């Protein structure tokens, strides 16, 4: 259990022992360190209830506190100021060197399924998908560090207009393939298609279909056939999806996003019939389509009915999400919560799908379905970031831009495998840190110079600090490190900062944002750099002192490593 939680429980018991019933006592970090490192404000809220002067209550409490605190005093109307007994603090810190979990508090474990990534087959990943991947992966690791059982599902967008686009492009380029021969009677072979072909087919077809209504009509027809699982298009499309998802996986691997499940819209088709059976009693026909009413009397905005089956009998995005929910609820991994890390534009849509799920009892009321949306990455003009020619920025292009920029700063290195590896880690750290630093729901501005800087709140700054710590640890070569003394205010501040970690993790988890973790990493790294500037660590002649320093460094390094792991950022050995 963390220091803060343990102390708050102790304080609550102490209040009770003194005759004051109170549910929670909060131990606040104090900004006036001269008065005390922490402050307890509960006496004020109890004063009214017990008809007493808050100072009197504070005095009762102060008289009962044990020696885990020092410098106990009462200020103003009844604030209790305390500092932590140094011995107690050092015990805690020694424990934490190799046991990160002693700094945090575990949750009541629950099963959480996180739907994130959401790449669309046969289409390039764009920056919006990057945010979902980065946030989703980090939330998954955060939840699992706090004790939840978590699985991630990429939920591929592998049905939709892109099927018609790509197949129509194949037809245009290779009209003689057997798939397009109406008289063909044989067994259809597996479709041969390369990732390079795929990369150009969708954009080509899409551009042409925009200008040419006939082409668009063909795309529509093919898409409808694929959606209705008609051969040979359906199998062709599955072959295309296979090639495409291998490519998508490479990008996710690069970003350290590992999905336990590679399900998607296609794989949900198996569950459509069973899902429809459950929804049937709640559906009615409207203009040939089958819909479900999801509006409620107290809605502030109009929530339109959800279309479940189109008028041509085909399934749509929503049908597949509902069938996916059916599968998730009936899978071995029974989720208590499903988190959808998907961009904000789908907010209304998810509201409709969730309501339809609860209404039809596809999902029981004790299971939580929740959409965790996120802000967009904008250009300097404040609008969603676009390429120079006005297109959507592809994720791989964004990664290359960052990598090139970082490469300029690394010219002291000879090119070679080592440099490439460092650059890859640095690139990922740069985009992830920039992406996770803003509060989840806020937009942020793409600023390549700022993101790639080795100073300030950036991935490179954090990694550079980590590499610096690691190199000192390697040079020092001390293994019986122990913290037995605090020699400076900076050291003390580092230890106190580490005690705050439990609160940071709790806040990040409850608000589902990694911004707190990013800010915290920056603060801890800055404190280390301050210490490094003030202290001659390696050349310290006093062995005990040196052991203390090394222990401190190990503690920082191990704690930051865990946090970087949560952000899915890997640390290079040198830089």
Residues that bind ligand ARG (CB under 6 A): 115, 118, 120, 155, 157, 321, 340, 342
In whole angstroms, the minimum distance from the beta carbon of 342 to ligand ARG comes to 4
Rounded Cα–Cα distance for residues 450 and 467 (Å): 20
Asked, as a colleague might, if the bond just before 232 is cis with ω within 30 of 0, I would say yes
Query: Which of 354, 495 has the CB closer to ligand ARG?
Result: 354
Asked if residues 148 and 108 have their Cβ atoms less than 8 Å apart, the reply is no
Helix (H) or strand (E) holding 292: strand 289-292
Query: Which of 36, 157 has the CB closer to ligand ARG?
Result: 157
Tell me the DSSP string of 233-279.
HHHHHHHHHHHHHHHHHHHHHHTT---SB--BHHHHGGGHHHHHHHH
In whole angstroms, the minimum distance from the beta carbon of 241 to ligand ARG comes to 13
Query: Which of 372, 464 has the CB closer to ligand ARG?
Result: 372
User: CA geometry: angle at 12 spanning 7 and 16, to 5°?
Assistant: 145
Asked if residues 126 and 387 have their Cβ atoms less than 8 Å apart, the reply is no
Query: Which of 96, 112 has the CB closer to ligand ARG?
Result: 112
The residues pairing with 113 across neighbouring beta strands, listed in sequence order, are 151, 338
In whole angstroms, the minimum distance from the beta carbon of 266 to ligand ARG comes to 12
In whole angstroms, the minimum distance from the beta carbon of 331 to ligand ARG comes to 15
Rounded Cα–Cα distance for residues 544 and 532 (Å): 18
In whole angstroms, the minimum distance from the beta carbon of 90 to ligand ARG comes to 48
**C-alpha of 336 from chain center:** 19
Q: List CB contacts of 506: < 8 A, sequence separation 6 or more.
A: 105
Q: Please, what sign has the CA dihedral across residues 81, 84, 85, 86?
A: negative
Query: Which of 191, 248 has the CB closer to ligand ARG?
Result: 248
In whole angstroms, the minimum distance from the beta carbon of 321 to ligand ARG comes to 5
Query: Which of 14, 357 has the CB closer to ligand ARG?
Result: 357
In whole angstroms, the minimum distance from the beta carbon of 166 to ligand ARG comes to 16
Query: Which of 157, 164 has the CB closer to ligand ARG?
Result: 157
In whole angstroms, the minimum distance from the beta carbon of 338 to ligand ARG comes to 9
Query: Which of 238, 419 has the CB closer to ligand ARG?
Result: 238
Query: Which of 155, 457 has the CB closer to ligand ARG?
Result: 155
In whole angstroms, the minimum distance from the beta carbon of 217 to ligand ARG comes to 24
**C-alpha of 206 from chain center:** 32
State residue 378 phi and psi, 5-degree precision.
Answer: -105, 160
**SS3 annotation, 93-145:** HHHHHCCHHHHCCCCCCCEEEEECCCCECCCCCEHHHHHHHHHHHHHHHHHHH
In whole angstroms, the minimum distance from the beta carbon of 230 to ligand ARG comes to 23
Asked if residues 460 and 429 have their Cβ atoms less than 8 Å apart, the reply is yes
State residue 382 phi and psi, 5-degree precision.
Answer: 80, 0
Query: Which of 54, 118 has the CB closer to ligand ARG?
Result: 118
In whole angstroms, the minimum distance from the beta carbon of 510 to ligand ARG comes to 23
Asked if residues 111 and 147 have their Cβ atoms less than 8 Å apart, the reply is no
**Kind of pairing, strands 283-286 and 289-292?**
antiparallel
Query: Which of 169, 321 has the CB closer to ligand ARG?
Result: 321
Asked if residues 375 and 441 have their Cβ atoms less than 8 Å apart, the reply is yes
Asked if residues 79 and 28 have their Cβ atoms less than 8 Å apart, the reply is no
Query: Which of 61, 119 has the CB closer to ligand ARG?
Result: 119
In whole angstroms, the minimum distance from the beta carbon of 349 to ligand ARG comes to 8
Would you mind telling me the total number of residues written for the chain in this entry?
A: 575
């Amino acid at each position: 259990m963390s220091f803060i939680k343990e102390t708050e429980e102790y304080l609550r018991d102490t209040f009770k022992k003194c005759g004051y019933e109170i549910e929670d006592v909060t131990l606040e970090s104090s900004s006036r360190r001269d008065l005390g490192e922490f402050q307890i404000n509960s006496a004020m809220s109890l004063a009214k209830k017990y008809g007493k002067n808050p100072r009197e209550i504070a005095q009762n409490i102060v008289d009962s506190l044990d020696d885990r605190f020092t410098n106990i005093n009462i200020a103003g109307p009844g604030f209790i100021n305390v500092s932590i007994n140094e011995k107690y603090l050092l015990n805690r810190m020694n424990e934490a060197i190799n046991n990160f979990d002693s700094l945090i508090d575990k949750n009541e474990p629950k099963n959480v399924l996180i739907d994130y990534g959401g790449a669309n087959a046969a289409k390039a990943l764009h920056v919006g998908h990057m945010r979902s991947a980065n946030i989703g992966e980090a939330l998954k690791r955060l939840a699992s560090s706090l004790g939840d059982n978590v699985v991630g599902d990429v939920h591929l967008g592998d049905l939709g207009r892109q099927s018609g686009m790509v197949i129509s492009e194949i037809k245009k380029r290779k009209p003689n393939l057997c798939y397009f021969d109406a008289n063909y009677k044989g067994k259809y072979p597996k479709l041969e298609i390369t990732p390079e072909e795929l990369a150009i087919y969708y954009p080509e077809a899409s551009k042409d279909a925009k200008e040419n209504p006939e082409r668009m009509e063909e795309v529509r027809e093919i898409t409808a056939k694929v959606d209705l699982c008609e051969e040979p298009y359906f199998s062709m499309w599955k072959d295309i999806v296979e090639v495409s998802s291998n490519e998508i996986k490479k990008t996710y691997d690069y970003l350290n996003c590992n999905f336990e499940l590679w399900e998607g819209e296609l794989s949900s088709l198996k569950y459509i019939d069973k899902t429809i059976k459950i929804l049937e009693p709640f559906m009615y026909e409207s203009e040939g389509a089958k819909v479900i009413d999801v509006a409620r009397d107290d809605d502030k905005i109009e929530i339109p009915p959800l279309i479940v089956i189109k008028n041509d009998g085909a399934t749509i995005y929503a049908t597949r999400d509902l069938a996916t929910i059916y599968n998730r609820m009936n899978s071995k991994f029974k989720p208590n919560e499903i988190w959808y890390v998907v961009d904000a534009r789908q907010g209304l849509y998810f509201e409709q799908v969730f309501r339809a799920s609860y209404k039809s009892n596809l999902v029981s009321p004790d299971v939580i379905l929740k959409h965790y949306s996120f802000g967009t990455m904008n250009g300097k003009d404040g609008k969603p970031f676009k390429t120079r020619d006005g297109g959507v920025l592809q994720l791989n292009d964004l990664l290359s831009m960052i990598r090139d920029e970082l490469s300029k700063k690394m010219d002291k290195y000879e090119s070679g495998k080592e440099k490439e590896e460092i650059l890859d880690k640095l690139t990922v750290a740069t985009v992830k840190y920039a992406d996770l630093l803003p509060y989840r729901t806020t937009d942020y501005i793409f600023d390549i110079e700022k993101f790639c800087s080795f100073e300030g709140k950036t991935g490179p700054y954090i990694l550079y600090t980590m590499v610096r710590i690691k190199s000192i640890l390697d040079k020092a070569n001390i293994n019986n490190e122990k913290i037995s003394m605090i020699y400076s205010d900076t050291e003390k501040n580092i230890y106190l900062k580490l005690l705050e970690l439990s609160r940071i993790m709790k806040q990040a988890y409850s608000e589902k944002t990694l911004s707190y973790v990013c800010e915290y990493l920056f603060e801890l790294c800055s404190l280390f750099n301050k210490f490094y500037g003030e202290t001659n660590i390696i050349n310290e002649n006093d062995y005990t002192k040196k052991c203390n320093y090394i222990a401190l460094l190990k503690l920082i390094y191990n704690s930051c490593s865990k946090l970087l792991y949560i952000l899915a950022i890997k640390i290079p050995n040198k830089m």
